[in-house]
């Protein structure tokens, strides 16, 4: 059984992914926050990925890294720099030094959030980040390209839309990714023999999708879910939003300077970082 490191394992996406992969891999789950529940196949290692020594420690002896850790929304540059720029570099470099050849980097739709909603884009679209957070994800994609070309690593970048059991609003009807479709994409990143460096969109087979995800389909992705099953219920409760946010794929990230962090650090960790 392969040993897979999942960073950011305490977050919503990490929690969904852990449940879906339970029993399929030996999971080394890591976060700066504590994890309260564990599957029998999981081993928890607390780490701050902005600390290179921590990144080296958690990547030692694994077969692949799924790097979900980081600041997950638009926020202050200091936090994004530490977690998403320094932390991302640390994870790639630590993996390289420890001989880990496979990295699955769940990037974000916000790396291309300033495309309009009436446009369909694919993996070759030039990055148009909608936020400092989006810029950090473009950085991670570029870093993945470097490590693939310079060091021969195998990197799958998944531009995740929104992972939830069901879509929660109109925008997410276009970018929704079910947990089981997330797990399928991550498994492709871990197992597919022909990956060198690839960018795909982390979305289910949504009727309303803004993405041509043919590159994922080329890698044998076969989504099992479609947000259209929830469309009537979602649209019935939808309320008008900001005109600019409604124009662009990135939604509120195109207009907000800071979005409440859904996964704040524990108080002791915040004090330590200061």
Q: Which residues are catalytic?
A: 133
In order of 63, 221, 234, 264, the CA distances from 72 in angstroms are: 25, 25, 24, 10
Mention every residue, 6+ apart, whose C-beta is less than 8 A from residue 174: 117, 161, 203, 206, 208, 209, 210, 227, 249
Cβ atoms within 10 Å, residue 126: 7
Tokens representing residue 41 in the block: 């196949």
Interatomic CA distance for residues 140 and 146, integer angstroms: 10
DSSP percent split of the chain into helix, strand, coil, nearest 5: 40, 20, 40
């Amino acid at each position: 059984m392969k040993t897979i490191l999942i960073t950011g394992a305490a977050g919503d996406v990490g929690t969904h992914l852990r449940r879906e992969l339970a029993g399929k891999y030996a999971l080394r789950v890591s976060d700066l926050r504590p994890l309260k529940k564990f599957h029998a196949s999981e081993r928890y290692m607390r780490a701050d990925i902005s600390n290179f020594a921590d990144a080296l420690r958690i990547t030692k002896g694994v077969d692949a890294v799924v790097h979900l850790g980081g600041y997950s929304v638009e926020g202050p540059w200091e936090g994004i720099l530490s977690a998403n720029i320094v932390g991302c570099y640390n994870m790639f470099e630590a993996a390289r030094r420890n001989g880990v050849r496979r990295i699955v980097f769940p990037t974000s739709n916000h790396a291309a959030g300033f495309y309009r909603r009436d446009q369909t884009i694919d993996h070759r679209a030039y990055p148009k980040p909608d936020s400092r957070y989006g810029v950090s994800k473009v950085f991670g994609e570029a870093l993945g390209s470097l490590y693939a070309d310079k060091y021969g690593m195998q990197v799958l970048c998944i531009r995740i839309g929104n992972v939830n059991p069901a879509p929660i609003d109109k925008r997410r009807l276009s970018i929704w990714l079910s947990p089981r479709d997330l797990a399928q994409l991550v498994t492709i990143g871990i197992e597919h023999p022909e990956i060198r460096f690839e960018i795909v969109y982390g979305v289910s087979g949504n009727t309303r999708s803004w993405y041509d995800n043919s590159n994922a389909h080329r890698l044998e992705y076969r989504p099992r879910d479609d947000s259209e099953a929830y469309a009537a219920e979602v649209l019935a409760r939808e309320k008008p939003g900001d005109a600019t946010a409604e124009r662009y794929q990135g939604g509120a990230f195109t207009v907000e300077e800071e979005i409440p962090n859904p996964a704040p650090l524990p108080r002791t960790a915040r004090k330590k970082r200061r």
